[in-house]
Structure 1
Amino acid sequence: MIKLCVGIDSYEDLETAIALRAKSGGRTYLSSHITRMWPKQEDALLNGGSLYWVIKGFVQARQNIVRLDEVTGADGVRRCAILMEPKLIRTSSAPRRPFQGWRYLKPVDAPSDLPDSRKSDDALPKELALALADIGLR
């Protein structure tokens, strides 16, 4: 699954936001995202699926999905809470055009996780990242 990370400017910003929520949530904290629609591909998401985050036009991170919970908003509308491990995993940078809501991401299209030795690398300039993606080198 892939989703735009609205209001976040960098991988580090998202990591900080998750850490702050986890600190107040205690040891059993799970990161969450509430959505109106229940995913039809629930089985695939719950068997090793991840939520990939698009930050400033590039997929930069993912979180492993743990479960889906039904929640009811203050307006009485039934929604889906996507619960994820709080650990944020940095991925190789992959450009993504804006879209609304969330989309399914085919495993073949998912960017790879960055090895531990590259997790502190600086982000590539946007133009360079786009040029590399155009020639098939993400």
Structure 2
Amino acid sequence: MAFPAKFPSLNAMEMTDEARQTLVRVLRVAFPHENFPDGPYERTADKILVEADAETWFRVALIQGLQSLDQLSDKSFCSLNDDEALRVLRRVEGTEFFGFVRRTAALGLYDDEEVWEILGYQGPS
């Protein structure tokens, strides 16, 4: 159950396409697999967005966290190379934002059937 925020304007915060692209980039940097196509990362980002949409606190933390990545980068987080992006993520790894992303992504990314195929996992018994 989602409770309304103290400030109603926070309830109205929504994810933009740019924020979704940043989230996909966060996932690629935090869970690097050169042989993974974009699909599993995009589906995992969508799972995170569904989770965030269900809880005001997580939605606000996610939106603010994604916005902070550009501020910490002094440019677009998506334009950073992998090493630069990893350094930025290490600066936020103790935040609610990153904890939420990490928890949700660890389950979502590795529960993707396309990932199973790539890793040679034959699925649940």
TM-score by length of 2: 0.26
> Comparing both structures, which one devotes a greater share of its residues to strand?
1
> Comparing both structures, which one devotes a greater share of its residues to helix?
2
Higher relative contact order (CA 8 A, sep 6+): 2
TM-score by length of 1: 0.25
